Chain A
Amino acid sequence: MGSYITKRLLISIPLVLVISFVTFGFIHLSPLDPAEVVLHSQGIPTITDELLAQTRAKLGMDQPFLTRYLNWVVSCLQLDFGDSYVTGKPVWSMLGPAFLHTLKLTLVSTFAIVVLSIVLGVACALNAGKWVDKSVRGISFCLTSMPSYWLAALLIWYFSVKLDLLPTSGMESYKSYILPVIVITISYAGIYFRMIRSSMLSNMNEDYVLYARASGLTEKKITMHILRNSLQVSISVFCMAVPIILGSTVVVENIFAWPGLGTLSVKSILSRDFPIIQAYVLVLAVSFILFNTVSDIINAALNPKLRDGL
């Protein structure tokens, strides 16, 4: 298992390098001149060619592409993503806290998604075709089909305005987490629990279940074996849920005024703040690779066949 983890981590290194190159390259394909963006954001009325050249030199834009890329990678490794074109502050001082806020929301939501999906998936599979299964699937279908901004608005109206139990927005106490977590959880768990249900159902027809039953094992033990095998498919999906939620909280963050990545990224894109966009894309890409690696490692721990494959 140790050698599997080492190999898997080593494979991730070239992936990160490729992604960082693509991220850097794409931003520089943009027709906008960063020097112009900086000067505009500083409110300079007339932009002369001389001024542009000076600013380019200051930003290091006069150097060759590869030199700039290498300098950027080396600084990124030290968590130095440059300064924001708009505010002039270091990127990490803006991105770091926003990332942490979104990460907290994401992790709490993922935890809720995993627990809810497993509980509902197992309950539905064990009662397949009965009213529990049918009603859970029916209700989840209705909830999942609601757009998250609509669901969020309904929840705010009922719990915050009508009952005055929870805050409408912001990030003050644990209470602030409840509504955004519910909105995120409903949209993901409604899909994921079906996956666990169908995976459980197909495992229930496997011969190892028949043999376990024929050997006189208790239903509780048999269910644990089925669950262990059924979760293998879902582990990857659960792990990938973390980076997916990290990168898709824009709507929820805006509705609940959550000071996270979603809010920051939209603001940066609108103001063409390249260093922040670049760092944002890189951080998300690295988290995709990281959680993909984690999911592979967990899967290998659960499924011995995968360990032999690498």
Chain B
Amino acid sequence: MTNILEVKNLKIWDSRNERVIVPNSSFHVKQGSCLAIVGESGSGKSVTCKAIMRLNKAGIRQSGDILLRGINLMELSEQEMRKKRGKQLCMILQSSMRAFDPSCVVGVHLQETLVEHFGWSREEITTKMKNAMESVRLKNPIEVMNTYPHQLSGGMLQRVMIALTIVLEPDIIIADEPTTALDTVSQFEVVEQFRQLRERMGCSMIFISHDLGIVKLMADDVLVMKEGEIVENGTTQAIFSEPQHTYTRYLLSTKLALNQHFKRIMGGVSVAEG
């Protein structure tokens, strides 16, 4: 299986105080597979993903190579990189409630994004989005598109983002803790949508989460990060059955215990069972 994304010697640091956030990371994502990045808050998961998109804040610098289908993203101009964002690299954010411009209806973002990448007409976009939104079980898609973000729930907005991703058909999806801000029932629904998304599109995915139950269900490979460093890397089965590093063992023991709560709520049909 070929690698769709290869990250080599990625170093990320804060230029204002020279603090190194990620000292030296190398990993890859295979074509059609899902790589989960796990670790506690502040372990450098989100910064790593933003570095792949080259979207970290102005003071944060990065070096190394990021190869997407063999093209080094680090060497692209800002203009070229912008064209890759959305179309080839798609990001789904944690805080869906704040991901859309609060003063515009949700449809504005969808229209602008799709016009930017494909130049489709308004009608074409509406039809495609309508189909995609129906496929993620959003009722009344036209109405949803004409609604302001604050009038929708976090789970609904998360599904709008997934629907947009379906239409964009990117090479790789980066989902930054997409279920963390949701209530348990919405989490279950959104995870289901992600699973279907992968089955339907066969696209590759980087899935950041600190919910190991969801990781076990979604990922093929797992990368464990601690204080910016990759402490363990392997297949999901290997990580969950024979964790090598003490930190991985610690994460598994604490997080899986917490997930029993989820199991109880979902009446046994639990994500944690995976």
Contact = CB atoms under 8 A, between A and B. Distances in A.
Specify which of A212, A216, A221 lies most central, judged by the most chain B CB atoms within 10 Å of its CB: A216
Interface in A291-310: 302-305
Nearest to B97: A207
23 contacts: A206-B98, A207-B93, A211-B91, A212-B101, A212-B109, A214-B89, A214-B91, A215-B90, A215-B113, A216-B83, A216-B84, A216-B113, A217-B86, A217-B112, A217-B116, A221-B116, A229-B103, A232-B103, A303-B102, A304-B102, A304-B148, A304-B151, A305-B148
Contacts of A228: 101, 103-104
A224 to B, nearest CB: 10
A218 interface: yes
Contacts of A304: 102-103, 148, 150-151
Interface size class of A (residues with CB under 8 A): 20 to 34
Interface residues of B, number: 31
Contact of A214 (B85, B101, B116, B150): B85
Given A215-B109, A216-B85, A216-B117, A208 B99 contact: yes
Chain A interface helix/strand/loop/mixed = helix
A27 B101 CA distance: 50
Could you say which of A210, A228, A305 has the most chain B C-beta atoms within 10 Å of its C-beta?
A: A210
Chain B at the A interface: SS class: mixed
Contacts of A214: 53, 55, 85-86, 89-91, 93
Contacts of A217: 86, 112-113, 116
Interface in B146-166: 148, 150-151, 161, 164
Interface in B77-120: 82-87, 89-91, 93, 95, 98-104, 109, 112-113, 116-117
Contacts of B161: 211
Interface of B: 53, 55, 57, 82-87, 89-91, 93, 95, 98-104, 109, 112-113, 116-117, 148, 150-151, 161, 164
A225 B99 CA distance: 12
B82 A211 contact: no
Contacts of A225: 101, 104
Given A207-B99, A211-B91, 13 more contacts: A208-B100, A211-B93, A212-B101, A214-B53, A215-B90, A215-B91, A216-B84, A216-B87, A216-B117, A217-B112, A218-B116, A232-B103, A305-B150
A221 B117 CA distance: 14
B55 A213 contact: yes
A227 to B, nearest CB: 11
Given A216-B84, A304-B148, A211 B100 contact: yes
Given A208-B98, A216-B82, A303 B103 contact: yes
Contacts of A302: 103
